Amino acid sequence: MIRARSSATGCYPVAPMIRDLAAHEGPLPEYDVCIVGSGPAGTTVAVELADSGLRVAVLESGTQKTSARGDRLRRVDSVGITIKDYSRERVLGGASSTWAGLSSPLDPIDFERRPWLAAPGWPFARAELEPYYEAAAARYRFPPRSCFAPDGFARLRAKSPLQPAFERLDEKVFLARATPQHFGREHRAVYERELVDLWVDATVLRLEANGAGSHVDAVSVRTSNGRTERLRARSFVLACGGIENARLLLLSRAADGRALGNTNDQVGRWFMNHPKNYFGVLRLANPVEAAPYWFGCLHDGFAGYGGLRLTEDEQRRRRVLNSYVRFEPLFPWSDNRGVEAFILLVKRATFVLRSFTRTKAGEVIELRDYAETGDDSTLQNERKGIVGWLGVIGLVLINLHRVAQYVFFRLVKAVRPKIRRVRLRNFMEMEPRAEHRVTLAGERDEDGKELPRVTHAPTELDRRSLIELHTTLRAEFERTGLGRLEGELERAEPWPIDQDASHHLGATRMGNDPATSVVDADLKVHGVDNLFCAGGSVFPTSGCANPTFTIVALSIRLARHLRERSTHPKDEESR
């Protein structure tokens, strides 16, 4: 059914719900706001604007399910740390389609101007984001702030026989919903709203700006069947990921040949990640059977754990970064591919998982393998046909002894394995460096556009920061009688903390000075009056927390600004 929609800028015929651009016939409507990307950032902006009276279009390069074309468009050229393809999903919901849901707010020091960093910090303090964190929790299923307080998840600390009183370490809580948020599925209803459209199979090739590059008129969009369309809007929001936001700006050029927003050669620079990997083993002085707060557990609808980082005073004194470690107990079945495959099968059989958790309602369900938390391993995220799933089943059968051992200790609560050794999983904050950047590679995708090339690797400061944390951990473990830390990170060669965390940050960083940033505090691109960026690409620093909670908080804040801008357009234009 075709119906007329109205807004402040006119009336036009349009069909409701999700629309396939490849199958569309006729001219495209004009919009007040065009959002590129349907991941957490783009979906949040769309949901927040749904009742604003503004006509909103969301453009998704993929479709409602993964596709061969979408997978091909994920390609990226990596120099240094290798970027995983499945961290750049082209599908409704974006990266949330593979996300495990882990989150935590950024810390106060993350917003500070730290003199030992080469670039300025955030243009506002963490207090600015507090109401938006609360809104993200209330409307997008993130943990409420109370869960991160001492009487929240951390109250489980009292259930542990491990009660160290650390002096130079802070504990930081990380939480995920038992069922992670999938923004494409959970907020699908927003596309039934009168003034919100989702266009799938709509790959944006470039932004079309006026001659001076100061105003974007339209986006050029291509479909899987080779059609190219032009969609016009009053304002545009790039929300297509920490790498793709920068790539699109670099692909979009003004009349003088410069990329949009790149007057000061800042687009793509200051790229960051959270390099991660295992290193170090804590040999406990006294073996334990359980320590749910430290080792991870499921309780009250959340999976979570407590991590360890240097206190902020120690970070300032040592002029280091905000890295952290988490504990992972070592069991006889740890790192067994068959166990990981079995856990994957259970997760996909959601009725089995729900039945199990329902029988454990109100209990503290301790983690028995790190794969239970949904870490983004290749086995869990690679595309699988019939042959692939048969391979998963084969892994279970080949490793049946270890799988049976895992299942026994998972189901039989009366018998618990003794935990004597605990390995450290390390997560690094990366310093923002201008030479860490997104550029355009020579190779092109099937639409003829240059692939992104991402260049980044741990720096001397990054490494020293984690080494300082390990040195302090060793001393604090011994002082408190917790145990002995094995492994000397300062002697490790090559550097072992080198895996992509899929947290792509900083390539269109936020700041007050256009000489060191791409967007201002309102996330508007410097020098372009109607173009905004949303997502991890705007982070000036990364902290150590998983970024999606903050991405959604920032997106709520951006939507509020877009509402105000539409109400007082003349005031905005005069700024």
Is the CB of residue 239 less than 8 Å from the CB of residue 61? no
Euclidean distance between the first and final Cα of the chain, in Å?
A: 43
Residue 76: Cβ within 10 Å count: 20
pLDDT, tens digit only, all 575 positions of the chain = 223 343 434 444 444 479 999 999 999 999 999 999 999 999 999 999 999 999 999 999 999 999 999 999 999 999 999 999 888 999 999 999 988 889 999 999 999 999 999 999 999 999 999 999 999 999 999 999 999 999 999 999 998 999 999 999 999 999 999 889 999 999 999 999 989 999 999 999 999 999 899 999 999 999 999 999 999 999 999 999 999 999 999 999 988 889 999 999 999 999 999 999 999 999 999 999 999 999 999 988 899 999 999 999 999 999 999 999 999 999 999 999 999 999 989 888 765 556 656 656 668 888 888 888 755 677 877 888 889 899 999 999 999 999 999 999 988 877 888 999 999 999 999 999 999 999 999 899 999 999 999 999 999 999 999 999 999 999 999 999 999 999 999 999 999 999 999 999 999 999 999 999 999 999 999 999 999 999 999 999 999 999 999 999 999 999 999 999 887 655 444 44
Nearest alpha-carbon partner for 423 in 458, 378, 470: 470
User: In the chain, how many H helices and how many E strands?
Assistant: 15, 21
- For residues 243 and 274, give the distance between their C-alpha atoms in angstroms, rounded to a whole number: 14
Tokens coding 25: 């016939």
The pLDDT, as a whole number, for residue 66 is 92
The pLDDT, as a whole number, for residue 376 is 61
The pLDDT, as a whole number, for residue 358 is 63
Nearest alpha-carbon partner for 413 in 461, 368, 466: 368
Element at 369 (helix H, strand E)? none
Residue type present at position 372: E
Residues making up the chain, counted from first to last? 575
Classify residue 537 by its DSSP letter: G
- For residues 526 and 260, give the distance between their C-alpha atoms in angstroms, rounded to a whole number: 9
- For residues 251 and 340, give the distance between their C-alpha atoms in angstroms, rounded to a whole number: 41
Residue type present at position 370: Y
Enumerate residues 6+ apart whose C-beta is below 8 A from 485.
280, 281, 282, 283, 424, 470, 473, 474, 477
Question: Buried (b) or exposed (e) across 479-494, using 16+ Cβ within 10 A?
Answer: ebebbebebebeeeee
Q: For the chain, list the domains and their CATH numbers.
A: 3-99+182-272+504-540+549-568 (3.50.50.60)
Pairing assessment for the beta strands 531-533 and 31-36 based on DSSP bridges: unpaired
Residue keyed to tokens 């961290």 = 87
Is the CB of residue 39 less than 8 Å from the CB of residue 95? yes
The pLDDT, as a whole number, for residue 243 is 98
Nearest alpha-carbon partner for 31 in 67, 56, 6, 51: 56
Classify residue 445 by its DSSP letter: -
The pLDDT, as a whole number, for residue 334 is 93
Tokens coding 175: 């939480």
**334 SS3 class:** coil
Pairing assessment for the beta strands 169-177 and 302-310 based on DSSP bridges: antiparallel
Residue 568 burial (CB < 10 Å; 0-12/13-18/19+)? exposed
